Structure 1
Amino acid sequence: MPRVFKIVPTTQKYDWGKIGLSSKVAQYAAAAKIPGFTLDEKAPYAELWMGTHPNGPSLVAGSDTTLAEYLAAHPELMGSKVVSRFRDAGAEEGNLPFLFKVLAIEKALSIQTHPDKKTAEALHNEKPNIYKDANHKPEMALALTPFTAMCGFLPLSQIAGYLVSTLELAALIPKPITTQFLSAASSADSSSPEAKTALKDLFSALMTADEATFKARLADLVKRYEAGGATEREEGVKDLVLRLNSQFPGDIGVFCAFVLNYVKMQPGEAIFLAAGEPHAYVSGDIMECMATSDNVIRAGLTPKLRDIPNLVSGLTYGAGDPSRHMVKPAAFDSAAAHTALYDPPIPEFSVLQVLVPGGQTEAHPPIEGPSIAIVTEGKGALESAGEKLEVAEGDVVFIGAGTGVKLVAAERGQLAIYRAFVEAS
């Protein structure tokens, strides 16, 4: 039985995806000649799913067997420690604890957060038709191309500055809440209970503002920006406000540009979104890895169901520089000079970025858990236990637990691979 083999991912078309071959999702699907995939140059290709999620299960290449079915029949490929650990956490047999994706974003995703495990269980019990599982959904986004996102609350002093300088925003917040917030923002400790309460009250007031009022104020704001009337303070968010309003005209979520960090990332940079952190991906192509779950609580920039009460109540209200969300790459193994490890503080997954120069090799020691890897550039081979698997751009590979592999780049061109894995400690 092979321990390294190709799997067939699934593509997802959502209206926020990039169109045709401008999308990395479509590029990889076309390059790998995914069975059943026919390129539509006018269609939005948003996501490529790699894993065992029932809404888009990968198949073992050359068969009709899902990866979950195959792993259930061959649990040694998962590893006994991983099987035991995540079975105790409620995972079904054969299901990986993570879902690996490529996302290609043309239109901003919703203002959203993900519940922690306890909240997910409660929401699933209360509204199983909306929150369809009881798992949490921490996630990490690793930029493949220049990527922008909103994530986490701005430092309180910056929000306070917008409240003072942006009259259209201030008009949506009752004066007692503004006064309370400005007082809290002047404190040195933004993590104090008082500061968190002030931020929660401000955000709740913003997201529940009267619709007629916020639509009118947003129209005023857009008109002012289009006429070149942005203040110096507002220059950093002007383009974001105009972009979001062009995609979601008159949506309250546009005002989140004044309360959330706007991050601009380059390839190789990553952010981690833990439970209770508000965020919205804005543009770009990314690798995304998440705990296997569908639980999303939305509040703006979306035609989907908005659950503002649960979103407001579930946020952590941490505020500060976006660097607190960044995941810094670290060394994976002393002998793997071309591999960087992105290791967020959760047990479900870590991700490796492997960039092997042409004609060179990279050895990965055995990992005590399963992996899924995708080739995003170049071609070469994966060698293990005397077997050789040829790979090229778009190919997706499963690597069984306890399997050492050598990644061999073709003579010309870099071999780029992203590898998600779980390893029970």
Structure 2
Amino acid sequence: MTQTAVLRLQAKTQSYDWGKLGDVSKVARYAQQSGESIDPSKPYAELWMGTHPNAPSIVIDDAHTPLQSLIHKYPELSTQTIYDQYNGDLPFLFKILSIRKALSIQAHPDKTLGERLFKEFPNIYKDPNHKPEMAIALTPFEAFCGFRPLDEIKQHIQRYPELAELIGSDVTQNFLTTIQEQDEDVEKNKTALKSVFSALMHSPQEQVTEQISKLTNRLRNKDKEDPLAELLLRLDQQYPGGDIGIFSSLLLNYVTMESGQAMFLGANEPHAYISGDCVECMAASDNVVRAGLTPKFKDVDVLVEMLTYRYGSAESQKMTPQSFGSHSLLYDPPIDEFSIALTTLKSGETEQHKPIDGPSILIVTSGNGDMSVQGSNYSLQEGYIYFVGANVELSAETSTDLEFYRAFTVPT
């Protein structure tokens, strides 16, 4: 290899309104390690690690070399197969997110839809790629993911008259009749669920505002220990003025995760992050179709038509990791672009990662230690980020607790 296999990176932050402020944000704390000055009043929402043109990582060297330029010069860092397959780019975008308030109700298109949206609306949808993604909690984490079991939705329609009012009596009755039938006709159930979601999302704004006012006034006088009521009131405080996304809480799974728990968000599945810090990885795209909890453009018609309308429990949304070594876990979603390994070491422990036939990016999320690759040693400190080239063995050791995440891709 004509280029060293390990390169320390400086990643760029993204400031969005929903991000945590100043050094309360893990994004900001990690970015400080590579020299970024932190403004305590500024929201630091995302740290982008990779070659995406909106915020490309650079090598910490005298020339401030863009990572993508280095991969173009030395394709062996990526492997020729992956280099050719993804046109000399990294196929994934690795992120840290620090969430102060809920993100938009959204879904990401599959490749077919992504290509069509990019062709028809290039000013809104910036590339033709799909955007499956995976989130692993760093701290206690809340999210919406997928549609609730139909019985839960039925109970919410009956329990929350404001929801039933927006959906309308005909759609409500059809849904209740459909799911009460003894035969489990999944496609028929999905059609009924789609009718409910479509009716809700297309509700006139003045009716939405009126029903949210009724809902929140009623809930403020109810049991304060009801977690769903607390969530609805919290979302109304974050997005005042009648945001339809508040009612999505009654249709979508409310998922809570502890550190190390993960969920995979496939194409055409509704979701939204609510609070906490996470590691996130996705295909290298920025396509988002939104429909609530946002002041940004809402493409309700596209969202309603694109969703799969799969339904199931909140727990069913979570992933089960596999072993990746003595002290590592592998989160391997059902896509080609990326997987993530989590390594957790206690004082005096060591871990080896066998050679991976593809490029990877590693970030230390807590603690410190040392890494050895091809006879060279590298410091592992909280917030340090490294690009690791293909086909090298990696060894880590620590005299304190140490945690790092490594996103990678392999040839298909």
- TM beyond 0.5: yes
> What secondary structure sits across from 2:166 in the alignment?
coil
1:405, CA displacement in angstroms?
0.6
1:229, CA displacement in angstroms?
6.0
**Which residue is 2:159 aligned to?**
165
**Which residue is 2:19 aligned to?**
17
1:238 equivalenced with 2:229 (yes/no): yes
**Which residue is 1:258 aligned to?**
250
**Which residue is 2:193 aligned to?**
199
1:191, CA displacement in angstroms?
6.1
CA contact (8 A) 1:145 1:286 kept: yes
Evaluate the alpha carbon distance shift between residue 397 and residue 190 of structure 1 in structure 2; reply closer, same or farther with a 3 A threshold. farther
**Which residue is 2:291 aligned to?**
299
**Which residue is 1:51 aligned to?**
50
Evaluate the alpha carbon distance shift between residue 381 and residue 191 of structure 1 in structure 2; reply closer, same or farther with a 3 A threshold. farther
**Which residue is 1:370 aligned to?**
359
CA contact (8 A) 2:58 2:67 kept: yes
Out of 281, 304, 308, which is 2:273 matched to? 281
1:422, CA displacement in angstroms?
0.4
C-alpha separation in 1, matches of 2:70 and 2:298: 37
Evaluate the alpha carbon distance shift between residue 53 and residue 162 of structure 1 in structure 2; reply closer, same or farther with a 3 A threshold. same
**Which residue is 2:37 aligned to?**
38
Deviates more, 1:187-196 or 1:40-49: 187-196
Evaluate the alpha carbon distance shift between residue 156 and residue 403 of structure 1 in structure 2; reply closer, same or farther with a 3 A threshold. same
Out of 192, 214, 234, which is 2:208 matched to? 214
> What secondary structure sits across from 2:151 in the alignment?
helix
Out of 303, 315, 323, which is 2:315 matched to? 323
CA contact (8 A) 1:184 1:190 kept: no
Deviates more, 1:166-175 or 1:112-121: 166-175
- Across the two proteins, how many residue pairs are aligned to each other? 408
Evaluate the alpha carbon distance shift between residue 205 and residue 214 of structure 1 in structure 2; reply closer, same or farther with a 3 A threshold. same
CA contact (8 A) 2:255 2:315 kept: no
CA contact (8 A) 1:191 1:319 kept: no
1:241 maps to a residue whose letter is L
1:144 maps to a residue whose letter is L
C-alpha separation in 2, matches of 1:187 and 1:256: 25
1:414 maps to a residue whose letter is D
**Which residue is 1:421 aligned to?**
408
C-alpha separation in 1, matches of 2:10 and 2:183: 50
Deviates more, 1:382-391 or 1:130-139: 382-391
**Which residue is 1:311 aligned to?**
303
Show structure 1 runs of 5+ residues with no match: 87-91
Normalised by the length of structure 1, the TM-score is 0.94
Following superposition, which runs of at least 4 residues in structure 1 exceed 6 angstroms of deviation? none
CA contact (8 A) 2:146 2:269 kept: yes
How big is each residue's C-alpha offset from its partner over 1:84-127, in whole Å with a ceiling of 9 and x where there is no partner? 333xxxxx32x100000000000100000000000000000000
**Which residue is 2:127 aligned to?**
133
Out of 344, 347, 354, which is 1:358 matched to? 347
**Which residue is 2:91 aligned to?**
97
Using the aligned pairs only, state the percent identity.
47
1:188, CA displacement in angstroms?
5.5
**Which residue is 1:348 aligned to?**
337
Evaluate the alpha carbon distance shift between residue 196 and residue 76 of structure 1 in structure 2; reply closer, same or farther with a 3 A threshold. same
C-alpha separation in 1, matches of 2:5 and 2:101: 39
Evaluate the alpha carbon distance shift between residue 341 and residue 85 of structure 1 in structure 2; reply closer, same or farther with a 3 A threshold. same
1:174, CA displacement in angstroms?
1.9
C-alpha separation in 1, matches of 2:183 and 2:85: 38
Evaluate the alpha carbon distance shift between residue 124 and residue 61 of structure 1 in structure 2; reply closer, same or farther with a 3 A threshold. same
C-alpha separation in 2, matches of 1:198 and 1:401: 48
Normalised by the length of structure 2, the TM-score is 0.97
Evaluate the alpha carbon distance shift between residue 58 and residue 407 of structure 1 in structure 2; reply closer, same or farther with a 3 A threshold. same
1:81, CA displacement in angstroms?
2.4
Show structure 2 runs of 5+ residues with no match: none
CA contact (8 A) 2:358 2:390 kept: yes
C-alpha separation in 2, matches of 1:337 and 1:12: 35
1:80, CA displacement in angstroms?
2.0
CA contact (8 A) 1:111 1:253 kept: yes
How big is each residue's C-alpha offset from its partner over 1:121-171, in whole Å with a ceiling of 9 and x where there is no partner? 000000001001000000000000000001100011110111112111111
How big is each residue's C-alpha offset from its partner over 1:252-309, in whole Å with a ceiling of 9 and x where there is no partner? 1100010000011100000100011100100000000000001000000001100000
> What secondary structure sits across from 2:407 in the alignment?
strand
C-alpha separation in 2, matches of 1:310 and 1:191: 25
**Which residue is 1:5 aligned to?**
7
Out of 393, 396, 404, which is 1:404 matched to? 393
CA contact (8 A) 1:156 1:190 kept: no
1:353 maps to a residue whose letter is L
How big is each residue's C-alpha offset from its partner over 1:321-350, in whole Å with a ceiling of 9 and x where there is no partner? 123321111111xxx210000001001000
1:153 maps to a residue whose letter is F
Deviates more, 1:239-248 or 1:178-187: 178-187
Evaluate the alpha carbon distance shift between residue 188 and residue 151 of structure 1 in structure 2; reply closer, same or farther with a 3 A threshold. farther
**Which residue is 2:369 aligned to?**
380
C-alpha separation in 1, matches of 2:108 and 2:271: 9
**Which residue is 1:89 aligned to?**
none
C-alpha separation in 2, matches of 1:172 and 1:420: 43
CA contact (8 A) 2:362 2:406 kept: yes
1:27 equivalenced with 2:29 (yes/no): yes
1:407, CA displacement in angstroms?
0.9
> What secondary structure sits across from 1:5 in the alignment?
strand
C-alpha separation in 2, matches of 1:74 and 1:204: 50
